[in-house]
Amino acid sequence: MVSGVSASLLLSTYRGRGVTEQSIRHFILARGLFLFLLSSVVNILAGPVLNLLDISILNWSVIQLIGVCLLFAPLFSRSSLLLRIFWILLPWVLLELAYPRFPLFAPLFTGVAPVFPWGSFFFAGMWAGEYFIVNVRNGPVRHASLLMVSFGLLLAVPITQGLSVVLGKAPSWIHGNDVDFTTFTMLLGAFIILLSLSYYFLDQSTTSAEKLRPMSQALAEMGQRSLSIYYVQLIGVVLSALLLQRHLGYAVKINWVLFLPLVLFTLISIYGFVNIYWKRFGYFLSIEWFMAKLIRKPTAGAALREQHGLAASD
């Protein structure tokens, strides 16, 4: 869902700069393909090559899912209201009808975060992000936030509870490929509430904005390197632990009292390494660095730039 919001912000930014739809589409498609191929290579290394995990190319990790969803992001952003509802509901209908009966399509429904139905989370996030982008530009965000908080509460509690009774499936906070529609509505409602409150407190009309702005800028900078952070954690923690387990011949068990501080120390170390130490070198050889070298950001032509009042150095 956060990636969906990010995609909507990206599309809105370039359209606001007068970049042509074709240039935006090519840029988004290149990014999506890059993420999909990157995650597929990691799957191959962790699975068939090193035999650390029992996975194949289409394990549908989170990065693979985001990559595929980005390929369809420009199309979703131009879809009508009914088509958007269709986009979000279709994966759940297919999950109930097609997956059990047609084993041939099983790879699309299995893995850590399969495209069906987890793609719905991405596009729902896009839709929520676009709603706030429009309201921020057209007026104060306070009313929009209150409306969306109400909608999120309605979605997360009454609607979810009603669906759990009708469908006979209780929502769960546990991540898995067998997520059901009641879990989706609960998670979507909770996400909309968090997104609405974030926009409300960061709005310039609130007194808390200046206090929260430094924190939001730090989080935004961290988010810009989230891909590198993700893979440093994956390689430095998950894969290294599996290699240690293979070398020792047994699984290392740590008391939970020691485990939680260890995890906290590890995560702080990784974030500090990426956002403080690596930053001094301009994030040289980071995944985002390679992405910037391979995929050029789209720019508007001179006439369009002048029309939109953008400086030549933007």
Q: What is the pLDDT of residues 17-58, one digit of tens each?
A: 888 889 999 999 999 999 999 988 888 887 787 776 777 777
* Cβ–Cβ under 8 Å, residues 41 and 93: no
Percent of the chain with pLDDT over 90: 27
118-152: per-residue pLDDT in tens?
999 999 999 998 888 777 666 666 777 888 889 99
d(CA 34, CA 280): 26
d(CA 314, CA 298): 12
Which residues are CB-neighbours of 88 under 8 A, at least 6 positions away? Answer: 120, 123, 124, 127
Quickly state the pLDDT bin for 235 (edges 50, 70, 90): confident
Question: Can you tell me the mean pLDDT for 87-105?
Answer: 81
- The confidence score (pLDDT) of residue 84 equals 93
- The confidence score (pLDDT) of residue 267 equals 82
Quickly state the pLDDT bin for 303 (edges 50, 70, 90): very low
- The confidence score (pLDDT) of residue 67 equals 94
* Cβ–Cβ under 8 Å, residues 295 and 34: yes
Question: Can you tell me the mean pLDDT for 241-267?
Answer: 81
Highest mean pLDDT among 9-13, 94-98, 132-136: 9-13
CA-based end-to-end distance of the chain = 29
d(CA 112, CA 59): 7
pLDDT tops 50 at residue 313: no
Report how far apart, in Å, the C-alpha atoms of 19 and of each of 31, 78, 296, 298, 300 are.
17, 15, 13, 7, 4
Among 32-36, 204-208, 298-302, 308-312, the minimum mean pLDDT is found in 308-312
pTM of the full structure: 0.82
The DSSP call for residue 173 is -
Which of the two residues, 268 and 210, has the higher pLDDT score?
268
Question: Can you tell me the mean pLDDT for 224-232?
Answer: 85
- The confidence score (pLDDT) of residue 309 equals 53
Is residue 207 helix, strand or coil?
coil
- The confidence score (pLDDT) of residue 121 equals 93
Which of the two residues, 69 and 196, has the higher pLDDT score?
69
Question: Can you tell me the mean pLDDT for 83-102?
Answer: 84
pLDDT tops 60 at residue 199: yes
58-87: per-residue pLDDT in tens?
778 889 999 999 999 999 999 999 999 999
The rounded radius of gyration (Å) of the Cα atoms in the chain is: 21
The DSSP call for residue 104 is G
- The confidence score (pLDDT) of residue 306 equals 47
